[in-house]
Amino acid sequence: MRAAEYDRTGPAAEVLRLVDLPVPDPGPGEVRVRVMASAVNPTDTKARAGRSVAGGMAFPAVTPHMDGAGVIDAVGKGVDPARVGQRVWLWFAQRGRPRSTAAEWCTLPAHRAVPLPEGTSWEEGACLGIPAMTAHYALLADGSIEGRTVLVQGGAGAVGFYAVQIARLSGARVLATVSRPEQAALAEEAGAHAVLNRHQGDLAGAIRALAPDGVHRIVEVALGSNLDPDLAVLARGGTIAFYASDAEPRPLLDARALMGRDARLHGVLIYEAPEPALAAAVEGIGTLLAAGRLRHRIGLRLPLSRIVEAHEAMEAGRVIGKIVLDPSS
């Protein structure tokens, strides 16, 4: 089978290559999936570059990407044979494994291959995984948001786009921020009640005007850059759930401001979420998919042979929407 791999970390153009590998067989409790679409996430490019939390190479060679979608064509011992032929979306496909979805086939634990409704395309199914599960966990890990006000910082990003949708579908009033004018329409499409450009005017003042009693849950993509305005608008008992702080990984915290609101600062890394939260995210996403309630935005489609371009585009941040690869081309 055709697959992408790297055997050392570094720039995409220097370390990623296409190789021919044997088609894998599923082990006990596993399924084999004919991959129809493979999505790129920031964690994939950081791992390839050697900038992941773990750092270094966990295996002599790695076929990347945590997310994907395809059809089960073989099952291992202990897995219901009736699953053969099932359309599925994949999550944590490379977690603890050297080979993943940037290939024509991959194997993974059966519970990480989730039924994909017929009305959802392969590319759309590949968009879910890390972004949608992160959004679900950040929004709901600290209690119900029904009837509350939610702020999604970066409402047009991969996580933010799903966070806006899930928050609205959970009964929240949703405010979203964007960095560029062209992103505003995407956040509005996701269902935000109001969209603000974080670079225009007094952001905290604009949010306070929309939410005089404060914001109860903040889903944060850039904690270091946004911590002060977040604290300025956070409601008593609220939560800032942050899943990234790339520009400023060591922000200064006004501890008194956080304490004075009896508030919570929740660092969200979906890979470290407890199993019940992961199961709840998979179930919640599955329910919304089955009901046709989730929208998906694909910004760039490429063949697997152009995986270097895909990784470089992700790192440059120039694509609005998900970057998806076709392993068959």
**Residues 123, 135 within the same domain:** no
pTM flag (> 0.75): yes
pLDDT beyond 90 at 230: yes
- Kindly state whether residue 286 falls inside one of the protein's structural domains: no
Residue ranges making up the domain that contains 174? 131-272
Give me the pLDDT at residue 43, please. 94
> Does residue 288 fall inside a structural domain?
no
Whether residue 199 is contained in a domain is answered as yes
The 10 Å Cβ neighbour count of residue 177 is 29
Residues 165 and 122 in one domain: no
Per-residue pLDDT tens over the stretch 172-227: 999 999 999 999 999 999 999 999 999 988 999 999 999 999 999 999 999 999 99
Same domain membership, residue 242 and residue 142? yes
For the segment 243-276, what is each residue's pLDDT rounded down to a tens digit?
999 989 999 999 999 999 999 999 999 999 999 9
Asked if residues 218 and 240 have their Cβ atoms less than 8 Å apart, the reply is yes
117, 143: one domain: no
Residue 112 CA to residue 208 CA, distance in Å, equals 41
On whether residue 290 sits in a domain, the answer given is no
- Tally the domains of the chain: 2
Nearest to 24 by CA among 76, 96, 66, 70: 76
Radius of gyration, CA atoms only, the chain: 20
Q: Does residue 257 sit in the same domain as residue 142? A: yes
CA angle 126, 48, 241 (to 5 degrees): 60
Average pLDDT over residues 108-114: 98
Q: Are 199 and 244 members of one domain?
A: yes
Residue 277 in any domain: the answer is: no
| pLDDT, position 7 | 97
- Residue 122: pLDDT band (50, 70, 90) is very high
The verdict on 120 and 156 lying in the same domain is no
Let me know the angle formed at the C-alpha of 91 by 108 and 224, rounded to the nearest 5 degrees. Answer: 135
CATH for 8 = 3.90.180.10
198 plus 105 within the same structural domain = no
Q: Domain for residue 292, yes or no?
A: no
Among the listed residues 41, 47, 28, the one whose alpha carbon sits nearest the alpha carbon of residue 68: 41
- For residues 144 and 267, membership in a common domain is answered with yes
> Is residue 99 located within the same domain as residue 172?
no
Shared-domain flag, residues 315 and 222: no
Residues ≥6 apart with Cβ < 8 Å to 316:
none
| pLDDT category of residue 114 using cuts at 50, 70 and 90 | very high
* Local structure of residue 26 (DSSP, 8 states): P
Amino acid 329: pLDDT:
86
Q: Per the domain annotation, does 40 fall within a domain?
A: yes
Q: Are residues 244 and 153 in the same domain?
A: yes
Position 317 in a domain: yes
